Structure 1
Amino acid sequence: MGTSIFRRRGWYAIVAAALLAAAGCGDSTVKPSTAAPLPAQVSDALTDLVRSGLPGAQAVISGPDGEHTVTAGAGDLTTAAPYAEHAHIRIGSITKTFVATVVLQLVAEGAVDLDAPIERYLPGVVQGNGNDGNRITVHQLLQHTSGLADFAPEVGEPKLPQQLDQTTDGKAYRDFTPVDLVRIAMSIPPQFEPGAQFRYTNTNYVLLGMLIEHITGRSLAAEISSRILEPLALHDTYIPLAGDTGLRDPHPHGYRNVDGKWVDATDMEAAWAGAAGAIISTGADVNRFFTALVTGKLLPAPQLAQMEQTMPMSSVTGMDYGLGLIRFQLPCGNETKQVWGHSGGIPGFATLSIATSKGTAATISVNTEQTNDQFSTALITIICAVA
């Protein structure tokens, strides 16, 4: 798909494509060999993925038996060096699950009401051109049912002049604040009536980041750090500051395919994306986060139950969206397996992270957001192997 910084194919359409393939092509497309050791199954899937034309890939699998890291292809096309162990990557929209977790912690503390209109917390921010913050609830923002327009629409979708065109490395937007991004969205009429349907929209989570800062009086980065990163010892996870265009070592290079050639896209301005997709992390850290989340270590039971109340995301059976959390029900041979997670696409990287209630988690990443059908097949194979 195109160049929007939060490409929809970078998070759920890649899996939707795989689910359709699984439904239409039979077990041989997605069923891993149950006789092969886990690392071999994962290695074969990643090798096939790189052979399909992508630069490199890494899977980090965590569970009761320890941690496995499997790589294929190149983390650096110039030197042919592979993805490094403990590689830092941009996780894009997986950031949204961190943000949703903080919001639900505030709900548990009585500081936020899910059913309250966003106008209560951010007066005067959501208004104009038919947008009305009195009619949009916090719950609707979390579940992408607000109807608000996206400040950065998908390539191929109708786009107005005031919407951001993601065709650069992001430096042009270094000075954009969340207020600026919301102002762009407010200049556009809503997509539908609040609560009428699901439609993934980055504007929702920019507003939720603003909500967190308004309620706590602290920055989004500080709240995520004190509430999630520090308690879980996620030392390799951070939100970059403005001007911090690189990645901490070790890291793979991110690439974009331009006119048939891979162009280095590692350095980019992403801090302005904030709550919608700015976090940088590692596979091991993201696995620890999702495992803690789905096993009840970050939220009280009532709030975790609210987060896991889902609605269908599209016409593809097996994918449902909760409050910043996706439930995947995947065809794995003769059975269906359920996992929870999220995925993200941002220039240079595509990532999917999942976890099960049994304490197993996996993060799969490739160092380009321009994925292909083989990426979908690899995701299904790896998830079926670990779930």
Structure 2
Amino acid sequence: MVFNLAILIFPLLLSIAISGLSEVQKDFPEMARFDEIMKMLMQYSNVPGAQLAVAKGGQLKYFKAFGVANRENGELLQTDNIMRYNSISKVITGTAIMKLIQERKLSLNDKPFTFLQHLKPPKGATVDSRLKNITVQNLLQHTGGWDRTSTGIDILSQPATLYAAQALDLPPPPSPEDAIRFMKALPLDFEPGSAMEYSNFGYIVLGRVIEHVTGVAYGRYVEENILGPLGIRGIKLGHTQVQRRAEKEVMYYGRNGKDSLWVSIFPGEGFVNASYGNLDYSSLDSVAGWIGSAGDIVRFVDHIDGLRQPAVLGEDMVYAMLNAGMPEKRYLKGDVLFDHSKGLFVFVSVDGEGKIRSFQHRGAATGAHSFFMRLREENITWAYVLNTWPLQDEFVYIAAGNISEVARGIQNWPDYDLTIV
């Protein structure tokens, strides 16, 4: 489905009352327009709690929280609360891979399954010979050969996790290594590199590639070699079950702010709140496992290419990230935000002349939703995180249109950086 962002922008109030705003907003009243957008969007999709962060030129200019972190006790959501990033985690994984390529410890043409020969498929299984042809670039670009829409097999969730456990004679849910063992027994759906179909499994493999190359656990490598040097301490790996919530982590509220029951992915738990039982985030570290704030997302994205110093990647790696070619047959072809027509681990939007306008990524699963966008020409990066999953297809497009339009129109940006004040 293709959306025209211009026609999705809700009419903004011509005059915005600023009574009751913080002193900062009184000095910079244009920033209050972001408040109006978030309140509008939250009402639109019954969102309990949200954060929105906006940076200009690598400096965080706006960061606010709205609604509640815990509906049961009325705890208000704050900017130091953290939430699930879901698939924005893939951008962290992709950045880590590119850093290893930059350090010449890996290449885009390396064949991951040659690294993973020790992970044996179920006994008696026939392994598709094309696995050995899959490259690191294929995995980054979702062109490895798996099509979850045609097979119904997405190793993140049930029933695939149950199939894997049964095939391997192990208790569910499968570890990342066991997921790879199970998937080795399935034929590819298309020739690697010939098409692009969004693949969570490919990023499970990339996490194990990082472990193979570095000799340390995926999460530890990212924390010690990427997040730590950037001074980003708020992003961490999360877990599924409510009793394993991290400090300052919010409560999650299903879809459109409504809870539902789900048969837990963990044996013996029976029916649980779906937000706490439909995925095993511990096993999905490199796919969907990171948690943090909207401000942390913005900071991380701005550090990737050095809009905020220090840069994680050099100019050649950033160029590849944004310009690597994609096959003609691809997921969401023609979509204004998510047509992966070029690039590696981010969705790149181009104008009619092929000029890059923005890059972005979203994350969504029952209980949480996140999205970031970098407006390239304007050097603006913004992100939101929510503690529910709005199911209206329009939500992310409405948000992208409204927030980007307001950000582009600001004439008087604050002179502070909220990450250091």
Q: TM-score range by the shorter chain?
A: 0.7 to 0.9
**1:362 and 2:373 matched:** no
1:181–1:221: structure 2 CA closer, same or farther, 3 Å change rule? same
Cα drift, residue 274 of structure 1? 1.5
Give runs of aligned pairs for residues 261-272 of structure 1, distance below 5 A.
267=276, 269-272=280-283
**1:45 and 2:15 matched:** no
Alignment partner for residue 107 of structure 2, among 109, 113, 120?
A: 113
Look up the SS of the partner of 2:254 in the other structure. strand
Distance 2:257 2:388 in 1: 15
Cα drift, residue 352 of structure 1? 0.2
Look up the SS of the partner of 1:165 in the other structure. coil
The aligned counterpart of 2:395 is 375
Cα drift, residue 214 of structure 1? 0.6
Could you give the per-residue CA deviations for residues 223-242 of structure 1, whole angstroms, max 9, x where no partner exists? 10122111111111112479
Alignment partner for residue 368 of structure 2, among 320, 344, 349?
A: 349
Asked if the contact 2:305–2:315 (Cα under 8 Å) also holds between the matched residues in 1, the reply is no
| Length, aligned pairs only | 355
The aligned counterpart of 1:159 is 152
**1:123 and 2:117 matched:** yes
Cα drift, residue 177 of structure 1? 1.6
Matching residue's letter, 2:4: A
**1:85 and 2:79 matched:** yes
**1:301 and 2:315 matched:** yes
The aligned counterpart of 1:185 is 183
Structure 2 stretches lacking a partner, 5+ long: 17-28, 166-170, 262-272, 409-421
Give runs of aligned pairs for residues 183-222 of structure 1, distance below 5 A.
183-222=181-220
When Rg is computed on C-alpha atoms for both structures, the one with the higher figure is 2
Distance 1:262 1:346 in 2: 13
Asked if the contact 1:84–1:250 (Cα under 8 Å) also holds between the matched residues in 2, the reply is no
Give runs of aligned pairs for residues 201-280 of structure 1, distance below 5 A.
201-240=199-238, 246-257=244-255, 267=276, 269-280=280-291
Cα drift, residue 270 of structure 1? 1.4
1:91–1:261: structure 2 CA closer, same or farther, 3 Å change rule? closer
% of aligned pairs identical? 20
Look up the SS of the partner of 2:100 in the other structure. helix
1:305–1:360: structure 2 CA closer, same or farther, 3 Å change rule? same
Distance 2:257 2:385 in 1: 23
Matching residue's letter, 1:302: D
Distance 2:160 2:254 in 1: 11
Distance 1:330 1:68 in 2: 28
Distance 2:227 2:154 in 1: 38
1:55–1:138: structure 2 CA closer, same or farther, 3 Å change rule? same
Cα drift, residue 220 of structure 1? 0.5
Could you give the per-residue CA deviations for residues 35-56 of structure 1, whole angstroms, max 9, x where no partner exists? 8754333222222222223333
Distance 1:27 1:277 in 2: 32
**1:384 and 2:401 matched:** no
State the TM-score, normalizing by the size of structure 2.
0.73
1:33–1:48: structure 2 CA closer, same or farther, 3 Å change rule? closer
Matching residue's letter, 1:316: G
Asked if the contact 2:47–2:256 (Cα under 8 Å) also holds between the matched residues in 1, the reply is no
Look up the SS of the partner of 2:134 in the other structure. coil
State the TM-score, normalizing by the size of structure 1.
0.79
Could you give the per-residue CA deviations for residues 44-99 of structure 1, whole angstroms, max 9, x where no partner exists? 22222222233333212233564322344433222344322222011011111111
The aligned counterpart of 2:265 is none
Look up the SS of the partner of 1:210 in the other structure. helix
1:141–1:225: structure 2 CA closer, same or farther, 3 Å change rule? same
**1:56 and 2:49 matched:** yes
Distance 2:105 2:222 in 1: 16
Matching residue's letter, 1:273: L
Distance 2:334 2:204 in 1: 27
What is the RMSD computed on CA atoms of the aligned residues?
3.5
1:209–1:126: structure 2 CA closer, same or farther, 3 Å change rule? farther
The aligned counterpart of 1:13 is none
